[in-house]
Structure 1
Amino acid sequence: MPLAILALAVSAFGIGTTEFVMMGLLPDVAHNLGTSVPTAGYLVSAYALGVVVGAPLLTALGARIPRKRMLLLLMGLFTVGNLASALAPGYATLLAGRFLAGLPHGAFFGVGAVVASRLVAEDRRARAVAAMFLGLTVANIVGVPAATLLGQHLGWRATFVVVSVIGLLALGALAALVPHLPAEEHTGITHELRALREPQVLLGLLTAVFGFAGVFAVYSYLASMMTEVTGFAESSVTLLLALFGIGMTLGALAAGPLTDRALRPTLYGSLAALAVVLVGFHYAAGSKVAAPIAVVVLGAVGFLTTTPLQMLVMNKARRAPTLASASNHSAFNLANAGGAWLGGAAIAAGWGWTSPALVGSVLAVVGLAIAVTAGVLDRRAPQTASAVVATSTRKAHEGVAAE
């Protein structure tokens, strides 16, 4: 793999660390700023909202900017957002800093995925994109636990200072290793939006919203499940979250080669496996032996869906793939918010701490149904076009014969 992909992975590591670390720092932030933990929880939502808003907006505005310069601008904005979070004097300014840090997230991964795919041969494009995403998964194994531990001992502000330093290192790596690539030909806001309206792109984004919501329905309440149901001590939660990150990494490593070989079958298989694993998770959560294994497997099959979904929308918006690629990360964050809300609703309804796993399984099945429907429509489209051509040719021959 080109060294430029390493620079993208380092950037993804920083982004992944700041995205997930707030969940472990909420009690410390709430105590320091004199607010409640539920109110501090809006800091997680502020970041996700920044991703949803920033992914299409910044990508569209930067459609004509050369790719390397765009990556540097986005990583610069990410670094400023984290530095603003570290220096925030109060809750409102920290909320604004989190929103600012989230703005470049989706756009960076969208542009980065397109750049990674252009640096390798056609038959290795998915592996290149998956390699970039490895930075995100490694963040959950190393970055998030280490940053959480740092924040608990030196204060939560120290965490965002360190993430800002990672951002600066990523800027240096991007500047040194990523080659200059022009923006895609014929790009512009109108052209990108036209590509985003393609039915297959929209169905791919819808698949991401429902399919990946199943993962977040469980992940959002994983700590509570492991302590309330499985019986692990709170001190074990960091290790269990790291196990989830190990599963994500295994899923990312498998996703690249599988997607390069057979995109839609990989997507169908991963969503079907996710639905089954989520049902199994519901029962495995009661065992201290089975639960950690289930956490790893859930991370693996959950992240196995991301690369085929990313490649699908990029392929179907081939003439203007950047906005579609970035919008996929908006879809993932909508899945995050929707899955967490539905999982919480199930718990509030009295269905039990593990009920989000069953809710997630239903969401994965819905995602699979959308993906299969999209595949059927995609197969029929060329046949329909061929039929039109054949009919036109036949009529032309008949016209000649009649003359």
Structure 2
Amino acid sequence: MKKPLSALAAGTLVLGIAEFMIMGILPNVANGLGISNATAGHLISAYAIGVCFGAPMLVLARKFALKNILLALVGIMVLGNFCAAIAPNYHFMMLARFVSGLPHGAYFGVASIVALKLAPKGKTALAISIMISGMTIANLFGVPLGTTISTLLSWRAAFFLTSMCGLAALFLVFRLIPQVGGIEDTGFKGQFKFLKSIMPWLLIACTLLGNGSIFCWYSYINPLLTEVSGFPEKSISLLMFLAGVGMVCGNMLSGKLSDKFTPAKVATAVQGIIAISLMLIFFFAQYPILSATLMFICTFCLFALGSPEQLLLLQYSKGGEMLGAACVQIAFNLGNAIGAYAGGLPIEGGLPYNYTALVGFPAACLGFILFFTFTIRSKKFSFQ
């Protein structure tokens, strides 16, 4: 199981670098294209729009073998990032970012199904977390590396390296992923039938609220740590590494716990911890050690939600599994965008940066209530 799942993780690694790297090199991209930082910020939105457009297109690929779909999606990753590396102007770069986002949700949808098919009995949630682990490793190592390359060479070199990583992922998928066949073809309309039930909608809402609540605060983590917590600017890189460690640990531990206690219970508990942590950040962000500890807890929880949500949506999207699994990434990206906007409102009003956590607190509480409702409504089921 390890080698094929590692190949799947290579794909999520490329997606993670492509999605998050630009946040660290945005000024370089803006200078290179002759645009303002605010205009360059639209390149982040273009990727998110690509995610939302690309995932529903899976309904058109339902008749193809899963491995072949994965190869096509990784190929689009390579193309999008290569086009970003050679973009001659802002509009071409916008298109390249949109193309880069197209395979994101779709890849997670297909890779989740492949991971389930490859997982041994009793290890399904762990298999999903291994597949997702590439995203956490991207935040831990890939994004800082891309930022360093952008500084030492150019931002174009960073996107070119991402494209080369995509080629490596393409090779690994081709060599290590077996032909596991496709899924049952329920027809075009049958792919959407699962959305008639309230349970998938509860999960989608929980994903959006959970991630959105954290990104209200995390989108402004740098100025919060320096201006409120009092950390020197030179310590931010080390603190971001600590945040990345939290993501890696949260993802792997939640997979193991979900196999032991059920994904619904784990996700509900994690969402509750998020709500408590955000309120504590609001009150205690001025204390450096507490602020750093709470940052670790929140980033831990951010990715601890990933594998339970992915697995639950697969379970509750019979007949439309690829689309269901991809919906997690759509909700994730929408939550990021909405959270960043909402978290910025108190800052624009002149309030300190710890108020970003206060904005996220109600959303986190609502996410907990919905997850608790989901857990009560759902029947006990086995993923074996």
Residues 53 and 235 of structure 1: CA distance in aligned 2, closer, same or farther (over 3 Å): farther
8 Å CA contact 1:113, 1:129 repeated in 2 = yes
User: One-letter code of the match for 1:321?
Assistant: E
Partner of 1:16: 16
| Worse-matched range after superposition: 196-205 or 18-27 | 196-205
Count of residues paired in the alignment? 379
| Worse-matched range after superposition: 157-166 or 116-125 | 116-125
1:215-273 CA-to-partner distances (Å, cap 9, x unmatched) read 11111111121222223343433332222111011101111111112222111100001
8 Å CA contact 2:9, 2:134 repeated in 1 = yes
Partner of 1:34: 34
1:144-200 CA-to-partner distances (Å, cap 9, x unmatched) read 001101111111000000000000000000000001122111343322111233221
Take 1:23 and 1:2, find their aligned partners in 2: how far apart are those partners? Answer: 31
Matches within 5 A, 1:209-288: 209-261=208-260, 262-288=262-288
Tell me how far 1:143 sits from its aligned partner: 0.3
User: One-letter code of the match for 1:134?
Assistant: S
Take 2:81 and 2:116, find their aligned partners in 1: how far apart are those partners? Answer: 28
Tell me how far 1:49 sits from its aligned partner: 1.1
User: One-letter code of the match for 1:298?
Assistant: C
Take 1:146 and 1:270, find their aligned partners in 2: how far apart are those partners? Answer: 30
Partner of 2:291: 291
Take 1:90 and 1:207, find their aligned partners in 2: how far apart are those partners? Answer: 38
Quote the RMSD (CA, aligned, Å).
1.5
Partner of 1:398: none
Tell me how far 1:122 sits from its aligned partner: 4.0
Partner of 2:351: 351
User: One-letter code of the match for 1:245?
Assistant: G
Residues 188 and 238 of structure 1: CA distance in aligned 2, closer, same or farther (over 3 Å): farther
| Worse-matched range after superposition: 166-175 or 197-206 | 197-206
8 Å CA contact 1:210, 1:335 repeated in 2 = yes
Partner of 2:149: 150
Partner of 1:318: 318
**TM-score for the superposition, normalised by structure 2:** 0.95
User: One-letter code of the match for 1:225?
Assistant: L
Matches within 5 A, 1:2-401: 2-57=2-57, 59-261=58-260, 262-379=262-379
Take 1:41 and 1:375, find their aligned partners in 2: how far apart are those partners? Answer: 38
Take 1:69 and 1:187, find their aligned partners in 2: how far apart are those partners? Answer: 19
Structure whose CA Rg is larger: 1
Unaligned runs of 5+ in 1: 381-403
Q: What secondary structure is seen at the aligned counterpart in 2 of 1:289?
A: helix
Partner of 1:401: none
1:87-139 CA-to-partner distances (Å, cap 9, x unmatched) read 00011111110111001000001110111011013421110000111111011
Take 1:164 and 1:241, find their aligned partners in 2: how far apart are those partners? Answer: 24
8 Å CA contact 1:184, 1:320 repeated in 2 = no
1:53-93 CA-to-partner distances (Å, cap 9, x unmatched) read 11122x11211111000000000001100000000001111
Q: What secondary structure is seen at the aligned counterpart in 1 of 2:352?
A: coil
8 Å CA contact 1:64, 1:188 repeated in 2 = no
| Worse-matched range after superposition: 67-76 or 229-238 | 229-238
Take 1:111 and 1:289, find their aligned partners in 2: how far apart are those partners? Answer: 41
8 Å CA contact 1:270, 1:305 repeated in 2 = yes
Unaligned runs of 5+ in 2: none
Tell me how far 1:317 sits from its aligned partner: 1.4
8 Å CA contact 1:284, 1:294 repeated in 2 = no
8 Å CA contact 1:314, 1:321 repeated in 2 = yes
Take 2:264 and 2:19, find their aligned partners in 1: how far apart are those partners? Answer: 29
User: One-letter code of the match for 1:168?
Assistant: L
8 Å CA contact 1:2, 1:119 repeated in 2 = no
**TM-score for the superposition, normalised by structure 1:** 0.91
8 Å CA contact 2:140, 2:244 repeated in 1 = yes
Q: What secondary structure is seen at the aligned counterpart in 2 of 1:123?
A: coil
